[in-house]
Structures are given as structure tokens and as C-alpha cells.
Amino acid sequence: MTTEITETVEAAIPSDTQAALRQFGRRRRLRRAYVWLWRIVLLVAVLVTWQLSSGRWFPAFVMSSPTQVWDKLTDWVGNGYILDNLAVTLKETFIGFAVGTSVGAAAGFLIGLSRFASDVLSPFINALYAVPKIMLGPLFVVWFGIDLTMKAVLSGLFVVFIVFYNIWTGVQEVDKDLVEMFRVMGGGRWAILRGVYVPSALSWLFNSLRLAFPVALIGATVGELVASSEGLGYVAENAATQADTAGVFVAIIAVTVVAVAMDQLIVLVQRRVNTRSGKTEGGRLVL
């Protein structure tokens, strides 16, 4: 239907206005090209400076050059070392992300529904949130060992509070006029829950997921740094103990690529959902 409307609108635009619109489109594309050009120039400048400074201003073992990092990357990709460890980190991250999101969303939703429960539990939740999670790593080693469980739990712990606070706020700040409207229309408690609270909480959930995934990744890699024999955190730590800064950079690049890719995936899903629920820019109609 949107395409039909667009076509109808385009057909109604006079030719001189269409020419102006085409010129506006060209300018916008040109500006976008300039932005990308400057991004590439900046990246090349940083890489060249880095390449020139390595071994000249800094010893190579302190700061490996980009070419050394590239060599290490191709070497580790070739022999499967980085991909095997990436798979381990991803597994820990996804389990922690899924469990942390589920627990945080369920707790945030249920506690948010009850003002009494919120009042009773909020000081405890705030205190738990204030605990530096990294400090729990050694404790988790004692409780869960150094295998996947420890890293997944640590990762989930990083996630759970972000999702919890978002859903909690979402439920508490639900539009009371919508609730009142449901009541006037004869909606019962269950209908209000399903019709107003759940959809409202879902929009907050999506926003929290963008924050939660990188944090889940941090939790998993921190767990690997604390105690592990596999995963990207282990790769970075192992390379650092051998003064192999190229290896550390390769691990950092792998984590960054995963975080950016996942962020883009969440944005894509969010955009799809928003499009389906009408939260799109443009296409606004007038009476």
C-alpha cells in the first residue's frame, strides 16, 4: 500500500518540482559520498601513522604494526585458531544473552506490574546492580568451575540488569490513558495486560537489546580473562603473556566485528518490527 501511495504522490507532483526533488536527491547522494570518502581517508591516515610509528616510535612488541596484525589474522584464520575460539566466545555470549534477557525481561515485567513489589525489592536490586560484576568472576570460578557455565553466567549477569531496568521502567511508564481506555471499553485485567502492557514492554525490550549484546560479549570475554583455556578473552590474554600484541589486536578485532555485526542485526530486526507496527518516518498523511 505504501508503494501505491508513493506512486500516486509522485504522479501528482509537477515536473519542475520533480526536477528540484531529483537535484535534492543528487546533493544528498553527493554528501553521503563525501562522508564515506572522509571516513576512508581518516582510516587510511590512522593505519599509515600506526604502520610508520610501529618499530620506530614504539617497539614492535609494544605496538605491532597493521601489517603484522594482518599477517597474524590471516595466519589464525587459515589454521582455524581464531574461528574456533570465536565460536566458543559466541556460544557463551549467546547463552548469557538469551538467559539474561529472559530473566531480566520476566523479572522486570512482573515486578513492574506491582508497585508494592517494586517498593520492596528496588533497594535490593539497586544494591545488586551496584556490585562490580567483574569482581564476581573469581567467586563464579569457585561456584561453576572454569567451563562454559561460569562465562555464560557472568555474561548473563551483565545483561540481566540492563534488560530488567528497561522493562521495569517500560511497565511502570505504560500510558495510563490507554489502560483507562481499555477499562472503559470493557477490557479486563488479562486483556489490559496483553493489549497494553506487553506491547509497551516489547518496545523497551528492543531498545535494551542493543545495549545488552555488547555487554554480554564483555561478560563472556571477562570470564575468559579470569579463568579459561579457550575463547577470545583467552586468546588475547595468552598472546599478551607472550608479548604478541598482534595476537591481542586480532582478538580485539574479532570481538569488535561480532559486536558491530550483532548490533546491525538487532537494528535491522527493530526496523522491520517498527515498519510492521507503523513506527516509520515519512508517509504521514493529512486529512
Partner 1 sequence: MTRTAGWRRTTEVDEVQADEVQAPEPVLDLRSVSVRYLTSSGLNTAVTDVSIKVDPGEFVSIVGRSGCGKSTLLHVAAGLIRPAAGKVSYLGQEWTGLHPDVGYVTQKDTLLPWCTVLDNIALPLKLHGVRRAERRGVAGDMAVSLGLGEYLKHFPSQLSGGMRQRAQLGRTLVTRPKLLLMDEPFGALDAYLRMRMQELLVSILREHPVSTVFVTHDLGEAITLSDRVVALSGAPGRLALDRVIETFAQRDDLMAIRGTPEFSTYQSQLWETISSEGGQK
Which residues are at the interface with partner 1 (CB under 8 A)? 1, 175, 177-178, 180-187, 191, 195-196, 199, 277-280, 283-287
Is 12 or 184 the residue whose CB approaches partner 1 more closely? 184
Instruction: Tally the C-alpha atoms within 13 A of residue 65's C-alpha that lie toward its C-beta.
Output: 14
Q: Are 109 and 174 in contact (CB under 8 A)?
A: no
Cell match 520533480: residue? 18
Which class for 153: exposed (0-12), middle (13-18), buried (19 or more C-beta within 10 A)? buried
- Rounded to a whole number of angstroms, the minimum distance from the CB of residue 184 to partner 1 is 5
Q: Nearest distance from residue 8's CB to partner 1, in Å?
A: 11
Nearer of residues 135 and 285 to partner 1, judged by Cβ: 285
Other C-beta atoms closer than 10 Å to the C-beta of 210 total 14
Shortest CB 2 distance to partner 1, Å = 9
Whole-angstrom distance, CA of residue 238 vs CA of residue 107: 38
Integer Cα distance of 214 and 46 in angstroms:
25
Cα(121)–Cα(115) distance, integer angstroms: 10
Interatomic CA distance for residues 137 and 203, integer angstroms:
32
Helices marked H in the chain — which ranges? 2-12, 15-53, 66-79, 81-113, 115-130, 137-144, 148-172, 176-184, 189-192, 198-226, 232-241, 245-276
- DSSP symbols for 7-25: HHHHHHS-HHHHHHHHHHH
Shortest Å distance, C-beta 201 to partner 1: 12
CB-wise, 198 or 227, nearer to partner 1?
198
Provide, rounded to whole angstroms, the least separation between the CB of residue 273 and partner 1: 9
Of 111 and 196, the one with the shorter C-beta distance to partner 1 is 196
Indicate the residue among 87 and 178 with the shorter CB distance to partner 1.
178
Three-state DSSP state, 147: coil
Nearer to partner 1, 130 or 184 (CB): 184
- Nearest approach in angstroms of CB 284 to partner 1 is 6
CB of 229 to partner 1, least distance (A): 47
Nearest CB to partner 1, comparing residues 26 and 279:
279
